[in-house]
Amino acid sequence: MQQEVKRSRGRPKAWDDKATQNTIKSLDRALEVLVTLGEMQGGTLSEIAGTLDQSPATVYRVLTTFQGRGFADFDEHSQQWSIGPAAFLTGSHFLRRTSLVERARPIMRDLMEATGETANLGIERDGKVLFLGQVETHATIRAFFPPGTASEMHASGIGKALLCRMDDKRQRQVLAASKLEQFTPYTLTDPEALITDLHAAKARGYAIDGEERNVGMRCIAAPVFNVFGEVVAGISVSGPTTRITPERIAALAEYVMEAAAQLTRAIGGNNRPAG
């Protein structure tokens, strides 16, 4: 009799999809410390504990545990805690999970050379833009979004390029979950005004962040699609308004849209997106 092969499982046999039941609360709190540490870009024990509204003793135990694994570093001189190299190495495994970043790199390099501005790649993750890659311009004044940086979608060129290609239901869900924070006098915080801007971006094929996140900086972005015509990423150029002037937007947008189309083809995507 042929022996039945036992199938590997990704979950326990009796697993039931109840988040509170299956969450390890202490681990969840520890990961909250790590995420906050990254968002703060470092801080003292008091600062980190204050931000989390947790006791310094609890946060200290978590940080020293992470330090032992290389996920956190401590500077004796400044008394500052910061993200450790193990966090970067773990995050880099996520980047290698997909060929998107690898295939985008030469396209982004060509885009940077053609425009003279920094090229960026980002995806939507939990209602925000997660930057996966960047090729910096050689110019002295430049935009900088290191891989792993998260940004609000409503005030980001890539964020708006992603939003404008979502179906109406998903688009409104993302906007409803966002605070639509006012970063500069140019940030669009009224939902209807933002949706009007997204409709215009969809019609012309590219989105613009016109000093909406940082005064003096402008971004032009276009969407990247998968085989089903669904938006999966955005590619952009960003730089100071002194170089990305209103007169240059249309010309730069052509380069950005072509780069997005190249990346769409490189991942086997559909150049004629649905909707």
CATH of the domain spanning 19-84, picked from 1.10.10.10, 2.120.10.30, 1.20.58.100, 1.20.120.1200: 1.10.10.10
The answer to whether residues 119 and 259 touch, using CB atoms and an 8 Å cutoff, is: yes
Mean pLDDT for back-to-back runs of 10 residues, the chain (275 residues): 52 55 80 89 91 92 93 92 86 66 93 96 91 87 75 95 92 87 95 94 96 95 92 96 96 97 90 58
Q: Report the CATH number of the 95-266 domain.
A: 3.30.450.40
d(CA 36, CA 264): 34
Residue corresponding to tokens 């992470």: 66
The answer to whether residues 255 and 238 touch, using CB atoms and an 8 Å cutoff, is: no
DSSP state for residue 248 in the 8-state scheme: G
3-class DSSP state of 96: helix
d(CA 54, CA 274): 47
The answer to whether residues 18 and 24 touch, using CB atoms and an 8 Å cutoff, is: no
What are the pLDDT digits (tens) for 87-124?
A: 877 876 665 555 788 899 999 999 999 999 999 999 99
3-class DSSP state of 228: coil
Beta pairing partners, 208: 220
CATH 3.30.450.40 residue spans of the chain: 95-266
Q: Where are the alpha helices (DSSP H) in the chain?
A: 19-22, 25-40, 45-52, 56-68, 85-96, 100-115, 157-163, 168-177, 191-204, 249-266
| E-strand stretches of the chain | 72-75, 80-83, 118-125, 128-135, 150-152, 207-210, 217-225, 231-240
CATH 1.10.10.10 residue spans of the chain: 19-84
Residue corresponding to tokens 């290698």: 96
Rounded to two decimals, the pTM is 0.68
